[in-house]
Structure 1
Amino acid sequence: MPYRVIQWATGSMGRTSLRRIIDHPDLELVGCYVYSADKAGRDAGELARRDPTGVIATDDIDAILALDADVVMHMPRITLPYDAMNANVARLLASGKNVISTAGFHYPPAQPDDHAAPLAAACAAGGVSLAGLGVNPGAIVERVTLAATGLCSRLDRIVINETVDASSMASPQFVFGLMGFGAAPDADITRGPLAAMYSALFSEVLYLAAAGLDDPVARIAPDHDVTIAPRTITLPAGTIAAGTVAATRWRWTATLTSGAEITLSILWTADPGLHPEDGRGHWTIDILGRPNIRLTVAIDEGDPAAPPSRALTDATVAVAIAGIPAVVAAPPGFFAYPAPPAFRARFPEHRR
């Protein structure tokens, strides 16, 4: 029997997921939730540029809750504040539907109890699991990096740098809202609501990686900065005036109980030429210890006519959809893939 799937949201990520669901021989689309009134009432196949499916998109959450489904592919744009989506996700879980999200929920135990407890209660009530899956968060640190630490006999520090070229992005809401481009330099977005939202999201990466290393987080220190546009920069999403923010770097260092450190740095830029020092690849991973391990990870598009962002969208959706069997089969609660054979200072039976 195919897995019965609901697609939640049909932006660029959601439309890609919708196509993968429709095309997949082991998945059956049974519902489609949309945010805009002009999409509601249309066949999901039309939204995905596929043949009609008979599934009509709706903006009525009660109609979605009434459906019989194994899993909801939850793919809205990340929102401010970080917990703004929790209430709807809790309702989906309590209705007996597993949820796989690309918009957070990667490791809710990293959050305060008033954030995580209602989600855990909803999982228990519905007998289902909640999973945050994707590339970063979701795979680069928690799976790829941890697996590479298994080559070490001593681990001192991990440094992960991500560089995202936003020069072809077309969404003004994302570029000027969630990325913070175009902000006045005295607005100090590195200390405001945007910083709080990203700290909540990416702290889950650090806590989950620490759990995989069996070395709890002792503290996390932020160190964010912005790059000011030296000239006017025109993007598909709009214009960044000279003297305003053209790049944001979100960076955190987690010090673990052993004293080892994990630094996660994410650079979003309107022009990669402003950062000649960040030219090694989309992700660079430096694992320092004995021996040192260095990785470069690039996710790119083979079709030169395709938008550059398509490759990362494809990869994120692929990770989420590949997780459906494991999430549906998991016991109720928060789902996370088991850590790969990572560096461990002690064997499990001799934990600190």
Structure 2
Amino acid sequence: MNIGKAIRVIQWASGSMGRTAMRMVMDNADMDLVGTLVYSNKKSGMDVGEIARRVRSGVLATDNINEIIRTDADVVIHMPRITLPYEALVPDVIRLLESGKNVISTAGFHWPDAHGESYAGPLRAAAIKGNATLAGVGVNPGMVAERLLMAASAMSVDMDRVEIFETVDASAMASPEFVFGLMGLGSNPQEKDIRQGPLSNLYGALFSEVLYFCANHLGSEILTIEPDHQLTIAPRDIAVAAGTIAKGTVAATEWRWTAHLANGTDLLLSIIWTADPNLHASDRQGHWIMNIKGRPDIKMTLDISESDPTKPPSRALTDAVCAVAINAIPEIIAAPAGLFAFQPPSTSLQRQKV
């Protein structure tokens, strides 16, 4: 980055979240949006200001990755949808890093070492080659467990169990591809059990990074990870913004893993995506519940909500994810080349018995 000049930003993908990030960059006097990668032929060649619903900037969006690679920029805000298989995004990120661009991704890369050297090694080597930094950011993964709960763990000297519960209401999400595809809602369990196969593998890979991050922060390592995924079947037809969840099909998924650490602590991560929160118990309402069971017990709750009733409820979480990414830019640019993860306060005394 050139000191004293605006940070040059490329936006990768221009869906609802990407457009929000574009607006945040364009509204920031210290940043310049110098390029945007789009997946739609209709958007390619459009002024990025038009896509972002801002004034025209003279910068044109492109669907050509080579043009993005050639564009001079300090950082790429990487916001594609998570894909099957999980590692499908790696080649593009490697090209970006090797071209000398820092990459801040909301589609993984939170703790690449969770998948071993065969996965993390090429990413690390690309970053070193390009003198660039790769960081995975977001709310979950990225913030809830890694930065909030691990910071709270500094108040405990002995932890038996750490729990993270997430509940996401999908009823207002308008994308059928996301709700019925990546979320797995509306699938027929008699025809296909989504707890086995590609979706299970995808989320196991993504969220294992949360567990490995936490284990590392707690000064330990994972011995085993036990999945225990659950499905909630629709008792009736349920109308949601993306379509209709038919009676007898999947109305909610609970992706659930327990990691057993070498230091004796268990880490539970449970994520419910649901077409109707009323299908679940009262203790699974709201976004996140985080528990530390030990000495002392600690419980935290976190909710991210939209205050403007004229806006879709999903805007709040979109804003939060984009804010995490945009706010990370200065620190990622200043970081040494390689793989980056935000670190909460030290918990080096945690396993001491009192």
Q: Which one of 48, 57, 64 corresponds to residue 68 of structure 2?
A: 64
Counterparts of residues 70-219 of structure 1 (less than 5 Å): 70-186=74-190, 187-219=192-224
The CA distance in 1 between the partners of 2:285 and 2:186, in whole Å, is 26
The CA distance in 1 between the partners of 2:144 and 2:292, in whole Å, is 13
The CA distance in 1 between the partners of 2:204 and 2:12, in whole Å, is 25
Counterparts of residues 29-44 of structure 1 (less than 5 Å): 29-44=33-48
Aligned residues: 347
Counterpart of 1:301 in 2: which secondary structure? Answer: coil
- Stretches of structure 2 that go unaligned for 5 or more consecutive residues are none
Could you tell me which residue of structure 1 aligns to residue 304 of structure 2? 299
Whether contact under 8 Å (2:167, 2:285) holds in the other structure is no
- The reply to whether residue 289 of structure 1 matches residue 294 of structure 2 is yes
The CA distance in 1 between the partners of 2:349 and 2:243, in whole Å, is 48
Q: Which one of 233, 255, 261 corresponds to residue 260 of structure 2?
A: 255
Counterpart of 1:267 in 2: which secondary structure? Answer: strand
State the Cα distance separating 1:343 from its structure 2 match: 6.1
The CA distance in 1 between the partners of 2:265 and 2:351, in whole Å, is 14
Could you tell me which residue of structure 1 aligns to residue 228 of structure 2? 223
Give 1:244's aligned amino acid.
T
Residues 312/342 of structure 1: CA separation in 2 closer, same or farther (3 Å cut):
farther
Whether contact under 8 Å (1:229, 1:243) holds in the other structure is yes
Could you tell me which residue of structure 1 aligns to residue 23 of structure 2? 19
Give 2:314's aligned amino acid.
S
The CA distance in 2 between the partners of 1:96 and 1:278, in whole Å, is 47
Counterpart of 2:155 in 1: which secondary structure? Answer: coil
The CA distance in 1 between the partners of 2:284 and 2:23, in whole Å, is 33
Q: Which one of 319, 323, 328 corresponds to residue 318 of structure 1?
A: 323
Whether contact under 8 Å (1:153, 1:343) holds in the other structure is no
Percentage of pairs with the same residue: 58
Counterpart of 2:56 in 1: which secondary structure? Answer: coil
The CA distance in 2 between the partners of 1:317 and 1:88, in whole Å, is 21
The CA distance in 1 between the partners of 2:348 and 2:172, in whole Å, is 38
Give 1:326's aligned amino acid.
E
Counterpart of 2:104 in 1: which secondary structure? Answer: strand
Give 1:39's aligned amino acid.
K
Give 2:44's aligned amino acid.
A
Task: Provide the TM-score with structure 1 as the length reference.
Answer: 0.96
Give the RMSD, CA atoms, in angstroms: 1.2
- Stretches of structure 1 that go unaligned for 5 or more consecutive residues are 348-352
Counterpart of 2:120 in 1: which secondary structure? Answer: helix
Counterpart of 1:17 in 2: which secondary structure? Answer: helix
Give 1:70's aligned amino acid.
D
1:192-242 alpha-carbon deviations (Å, 9 max, x no partner) = 100000000000011111111112212111110110101111112111110
1:160-185 alpha-carbon deviations (Å, 9 max, x no partner) = 10000000000011000000011111
The CA distance in 1 between the partners of 2:348 and 2:194, in whole Å, is 36
The CA distance in 1 between the partners of 2:157 and 2:120, in whole Å, is 35
1:142-172 alpha-carbon deviations (Å, 9 max, x no partner) = 0100111111121111111000000000001
Counterpart of 2:273 in 1: which secondary structure? Answer: strand
Task: Provide the TM-score with structure 2 as the length reference.
Answer: 0.96
Whether contact under 8 Å (1:155, 1:343) holds in the other structure is no
State the Cα distance separating 1:90 from its structure 2 match: 0.6
Give 1:177's aligned amino acid.
G
Whether contact under 8 Å (1:249, 1:266) holds in the other structure is yes
The CA distance in 2 between the partners of 1:288 and 1:55, in whole Å, is 52
Q: Which one of 45, 56, 62 corresponds to residue 52 of structure 1?
A: 56
The CA distance in 1 between the partners of 2:29 and 2:266, in whole Å, is 44
Whether contact under 8 Å (1:90, 1:118) holds in the other structure is yes
Give 1:82's aligned amino acid.
Y
Give 2:182's aligned amino acid.
L
Residues 107/219 of structure 1: CA separation in 2 closer, same or farther (3 Å cut):
same
Residues 302/342 of structure 1: CA separation in 2 closer, same or farther (3 Å cut):
farther
State the Cα distance separating 1:276 from its structure 2 match: 2.5
Give 1:198's aligned amino acid.
Y
Counterpart of 1:189 in 2: which secondary structure? Answer: coil
Could you tell me which residue of structure 2 aligns to residue 350 of structure 1? none
State the Cα distance separating 1:56 from its structure 2 match: 0.3
State the Cα distance separating 1:278 from its structure 2 match: 3.6
Whether contact under 8 Å (2:137, 2:324) holds in the other structure is yes
